[in-house]
């Protein structure tokens, strides 16, 4: 089957990694896959059999989006593309228009529960052949915006031979991995760190709009020798293996890949009690309300004192890339049965 995946950009993030892994497996299975994005540092990490076309599909200007849709429709007609697969809201609109022009079906993956529930914004989701939800939490949280055309396919994770071993010294080494944006909650952690008693450091791996703000806050709080902003890194497994525990203070997520990898590796985790995290946990016990700085401070202090009971997660709840792709292929076959014949 010839498929085009559309996502805003290929910078760092869970959606980007999801698309990298899914398109690699689809290509391995013999599908002809093209990814369209505005570009980014992760373009070079696309599998060798996956094509990339740079278009401004991240722009929230309707004229630009329609321009992209026309380009994609012409490409689809010229190359006999059979299906479009959109990731995020602007690409969903582009896929809706392009699919109509090219007279082919499209599907959308919903990666997160959005705060804005305007029905108009999600019109392309309701018209899609299927909306793939990366967790039951996303399906439930966005139910009012969709039309019952949803299917839950949990994000898959590649295997790893890297496992948690902890820090090489007795100092507690906290770790945050993710985009530095308000919904990830890292600003709350930085605010409460000066109140902790004991020996600790915090490594922050990731970039984003809060980088400068956090840097200034760290300097202002006298934490430059204890909190380290490392920016985007490719070697996150190594960081996970050597930390004391992963901090996951998010306010909202779809199906968190960083948390899933930590669970695979056996890393102790302090995490928010948000629906997709609860879905991954064996029980809610030990999870912390997002934004509750007092409770997060007490939990961090308990870790430093060696008497914190961490929440329990099961790696069995995390599917492989192959199982995830099986589910996606089944959706493709249902939406585009003609594609199975080519």
SS3 (DSSP) at 5: strand
Distances (CA, A) of 231 to 167, 196, 203, 246, 329: 20, 24, 10, 16, 35
Q: What is the pLDDT of residues 145-158, one digit of tens each?
A: 888 899 999 999 99
Residue 281 is classified by DSSP as B
Q: Report yes or no: 155 and 132 within 8 Å, Cβ to Cβ.
A: no
CATH topology of domain 2-156+319-341: Rossmann fold (3.40.50)
Only one residue has tokens 């990339």, namely 52
In 3D, which of 14, 255, 288, 16 has the Cα closest to residue 140?
255
Between β-strands 51-54 and 83-87, what pairing exists: parallel, antiparallel or unpaired? unpaired
Angle at 137 between CA 132 and CA 139, to 5 degrees: 35
Categorise residue 88: left if φ over 0, alpha if ψ from -120 to 50, beta otherwise.
Answer: left
Q: What is the pLDDT of residues 273-313, one digit of tens each?
A: 999 999 999 989 999 999 999 999 999 999 999 888 899 99
Give the residue extent of every domain in the chain.
2-156+319-341, 172-317
Span 218-239, average pLDDT: 93
At 221 the pLDDT is 93
Q: Report yes or no: 223 and 248 within 8 Å, Cβ to Cβ.
A: no
Cα(2)–Cα(33) distance, rounded to whole angstroms?
Answer: 6
Residue 342 reports pLDDT greater than 60: no
SS3 (DSSP) at 249: coil
Cα(263)–Cα(266) distance, rounded to whole angstroms?
Answer: 5
Q: What is the pTM of this model?
A: 0.88
At 313 the pLDDT is 92
Is it true that domain 172-317 has CATH number 3.40.50.2300? no
CB atoms near residue 115 (< 10 Å): 9
The reply to whether domains 2-156+319-341 and 172-317 share a CATH topology is yes
Residue 33 is classified by DSSP as E
Structure token digits, residue 94: 């582009």
Q: Report yes or no: 40 and 10 within 8 Å, Cβ to Cβ.
A: yes
């Amino acid at each position: 089957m010839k498929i085009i995946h559309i996502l805003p950009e290929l910078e760092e993030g869970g959606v980007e990694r999801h698309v990298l892994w899914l398109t690699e497996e689809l290509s391995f299975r013999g599908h002809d896959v093209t990814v369209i994005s505005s570009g980014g540092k992760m373009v070079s990490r696309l599998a060798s059999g996956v094509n990339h076309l740079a278009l401004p599909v991240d722009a929230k200007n309707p004229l630009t989006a329609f321009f992209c849709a026309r380009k994609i429709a012409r490409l689809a007609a010229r190359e006999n593309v059979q299906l479009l697969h959109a990731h995020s809201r602007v690409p969903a609109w582009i896929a809706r228009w392009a699919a109509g022009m090219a007279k082919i079906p499209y599907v959308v993956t919903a990666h997160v529960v959005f705060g804005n529930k305007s029905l108009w914004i999600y019109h392309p989701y309701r018209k899609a052949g299927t909306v793939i939800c990366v967790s039951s939490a996303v399906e439930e949280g966005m139910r009012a915006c969709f039309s019952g055309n949803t299917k839950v396919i949990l994000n898959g994770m590649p295997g790893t031979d890297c496992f948690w071993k902890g820090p090489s010294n007795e100092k507690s080494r906290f770790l945050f991995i993710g985009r530095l944006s308000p919904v990830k909650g890292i600003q709350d952690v930085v605010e409460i760190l000066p109140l902790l008693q004991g020996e600790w450091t915090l490594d922050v791996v990731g970039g984003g709009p809060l980088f400068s703000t956090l840097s200034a806050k760290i300097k202002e709080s006298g934490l430059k020798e204890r909190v380290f902003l490392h920016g985007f890194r490719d070697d996150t497994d190594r960081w996970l293996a050597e930390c004391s525990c992963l901090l996951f203070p998010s306010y909202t997520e779809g199906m968190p890949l960083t948390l899933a990898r930590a669970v695979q590796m056996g890393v102790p985790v302090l995490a928010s009690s948000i629906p997709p995290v609860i879905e991954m946990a064996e029980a809610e016990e030990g999870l912390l309300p997002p934004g509750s700085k007092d409770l997060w401070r007490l939990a961090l202090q308990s870790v430093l004192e060696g008497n914190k009971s961490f929440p329990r997660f099961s790696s069995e709840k995390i599917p492989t890339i192959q199982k995830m792709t099986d589910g996606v292929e089944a959706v493709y076959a249902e939406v585009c049965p003609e594609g199975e014949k080519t």
